[in-house]
Structure 1
């Protein structure tokens, strides 16, 4: 679970007022392109669209050539063009070029292709990615032999018949490195017990730490809000330790995953996690054999690592819990219940980011500040993706920890829920399928259709002066309004009023190149002045070669005006 120091500053931003706000104002005149415009000749697919109509063209069917008719109207016309990969598998990439040319001319191609910039990952997102990889590979470093459990309730085996008693001691084996190559034994005492959760605190945690009132407050949030929200939205959790509760273990071992440094104020840290080995049927007996969420402890003076005040821990732990609890439920339903493979990283992470948003929405309309605290990170992650859609794939087998990829995962999940209803996450989790096959089965439409519609929705959903078709809309967010507000409040983190800024040129002057990556695309506005001749586009690989079939390239086109 990603937590960054700047999250504290972002939580001051208000999101609730910009969820679904009226969209106003139309853009002014756009620049017209030169005349004449271009064509690809006899090979081309003819594109004839009314305003609001759209099409997705497979370049393998027409040698990558499409032509647009002359604009007989006095007003200018505009199209959004999105070259995209709609591959149903991860790792599909191909360099591409999109070139416009005049009618009767050959669209010029150049050999060089602009590669996407490299984007780093934070420590926290990388660790989250590593654990998703463990869940899919199920290849764990085994800890040393465990010492006997201190808990009469049997933390390490299915001998308990109820929740642990308040004050009881338990021992746990906890991953203590970012690659879980070693583990530490932790003794912890039960500090709060509810109907669904029991909170253990490391006996070596710094003092003063969270007091009993703080822990009871966390227990209430977990017990009465987050647990029922997640189990309703995603499905039931297991109880392999027969104690009837999910354990929340607050331990300094989590704090120490990231060493203290001069970068504590700016670097990310690990706030908490779920370790799949605890539930894996083949390995659970070597670990803790139970449903456990691991969390940092309060450490205001930084004796363990970067300092975390009690207030900070109380504020951040619930959103981390709901994120990791979805991962736990997803693993249970895919691996324990259906004896299958765990969910692919991109969809698993998208559902966990949706869990954060869902928890935040449970506080509306009365508590917009708490809503913001839960929802701001998914919104920020999505901003990073929309800022550079060509730099991040959507589909990855395991979360690589890059914020832009996480943003794509949440945006796509959010779009699917808006289109197919609140029951979709439950259907996705309670399935033996994974990845694109799971999405296609639960939505009832080809995965490629979901991808192309989503790509177009990212631009047109709340485009001023344009009425998007229903299938190209987010119904729960007006992102232009949201990001405009965030930009005005925090221009340091939200540099532009809206992060997705397509290149714009006349149709015959289009020159766009980059790398297609599984699920993602790049954006181009094609402008055509009133009375202008038609133009054509050639969509191909480097040097004009056909794009490889494995990348499942599509040229998505929608007429804006």
Structure 2
């Protein structure tokens, strides 16, 4: 997780997205039931190394309910460090979850299953999550803020686990007794962002696997939808509260910047939800572009489908995936390119990234060193000679500079300069004339 800098995001020409609604989609559910206890014992594991056929990687955690809402129950590990969140803090989190994030996600994507029949999603704040990384790892490469574990809902194994809807989160640890320090203010600020992200994963798993008996969504598309959920939550604060918008959207935009800095080195089509920040940035950019092109109903269609990945995108957009991904790649460069009038299918409609990144560059040049991260190489058309590895769904950018009377030239792909690419590798070339 990237630590947010004290910057504000600037947007121009905001387009309407799936709007905030006070009512969740689907039938109402009770605030709680007899199945919800005031104290629970849950198994929590390091999700990066869980063996779904064994419980040996898990730790048992005792937790007490701190705040109970219509859709959310906030539990805290009984062994959480001192000087953490207050009762008022827990109630504030519950209110944000209940009245804003839950309606947003269920409207945009669909419903969670309620397999434990208690009417709520449990938010378990536990030091086990803090301990997934060491203090050194936390301070150098980041930390795990929270997660959703699909085995808790998988009907084939959930009886071995928590058999219910659980979102796992770090606890406040002001003195760093478990890993690096996390102040109460930081946890209060970051937990809603992580929740809305992981709740999309929970809904996505529910709709694909439990409702439609399909496979889990491909990692790249699932992650892109969760990053879209973060953005959606941030936009619900606009236009009056740009600070809260920035808190939700900053990491997403930072990830996109990382991808656009080196698109040729980072894949879009990663099979699992374990990508680098740059790959996650690619996932969000693709989903954001697709929603801009095909409407706010697209995320719900993608989630409520038995299809996955490229096939899912093609089915829900009505266009071949090759066409969608090629136009997206071109839009990354030409969408708001000065002096160029991009056609509608090559545009982001909800972001003007050159203005956004230029603003971030002026506020935080250490994290955003260029006014715009994507800088294609350039050279005469007749001397184009690019070598490297093509990443799945992504590509490299090059400007071929051709004079008005310059001779024609031919471009071709090869494996080593002379040998044709294997038939299983389909290289694609997208060309657009800028002037």
Q: Deviations over 1:459-518 (max 9, x none)?
A: 111010001011011001111111111111111111111111111111112121111122
Q: Give the TM-score normalised by the residue count of structure 1.
A: 0.72
Q: Could you tell me how far 1:18 is from its partner in structure 2?
A: 3.0
Contiguous gaps of at least 5 residues in structure 2: 15-31, 52-56
Offset, 1:264: 4.2
Asked whether 1:172 is paired with 2:42, we answer: yes
Equivalent-residue separation in structure 1 for 2:363 and 2:45 (angstroms): 39
Say how many residue pairs are matched.
413
Counting strand residues as a fraction of each chain, which structure ranks higher?
A: 1
| Pairing 1:240-251 to 2, within 5 Å after superposition | 240-251=115-126
How much does 1:13 deviate?
1.0
RMSD: 1.5
* 2:11 corresponds to: 18
Residue 76 of structure 2 aligns to a residue whose secondary structure is strand
From the two aligned structures, give the one with the greater helix fraction.
Answer: 2
Decide whether the 8 Å contact of 1:164 with 1:190 is kept in 2. Answer: no
User: 107, 120, 123: which is aligned to 1:232?
Assistant: 107
Measured after TM superposition, the shift of residue 552 of structure 1 is: 1.9
**Equivalent position SS for 1:172:** strand
1:322-361 to structure 2, matched below 5 A, reads 322-361=196-235
1:340-386 deviation per Cα after TM superposition (whole angstroms, max 9, x unaligned):
11001000000001111111000101110110111111111111111
Residue 435 of structure 1: which of 305, 309, 314 is its match? Answer: 309
Aligned counterparts, 1:504-515, within 5 A: 504-515=378-389
Question: Are 1:214 and 2:208 matched, yes or no?
Answer: no
| Contact 1:346-1:396 within 8 A present in 2 as well | yes
Q: Specify every segment of 5 or more residues in structure 1 that has no aligned partner in the other structure, as ranges.
A: 22-159
- 8 A Cα contact 1:356 1:374, kept in partner: yes
Asked whether 1:270 is paired with 2:270, we answer no
Stretches of 4+ aligned residues off by more than 4 angstroms = none
Partner residue in 1 for 2:364: 490
Larger Rg over CA atoms: 1
Secondary structure of the residue aligned to 2:43 is strand
Q: Give the Cα–Cα distance (whole angstroms) in 1 for the partners of residues 35 and 342 of structure 2.
A: 52
RCO comparison, higher one (Cα < 8 Å, 6+): 1
Residue of structure 2 aligned with 1:391, choices 243, 265, 273: 265
Moved more, 515-524 or 442-451: 515-524
Q: 1:162, CA displacement in angstroms?
A: 4.8
The match for 2:242 is 368
Whether contact under 8 Å (2:115, 2:165) holds in the other structure is: yes
How far is 1:526 from its partner? 1.0
For 2:335 and 2:171, how far apart are their aligned partners in 1? 42
The answer to whether the Cα contact below 8 Å between 2:302 and 2:313 also exists between their aligned partners in 1 is: yes
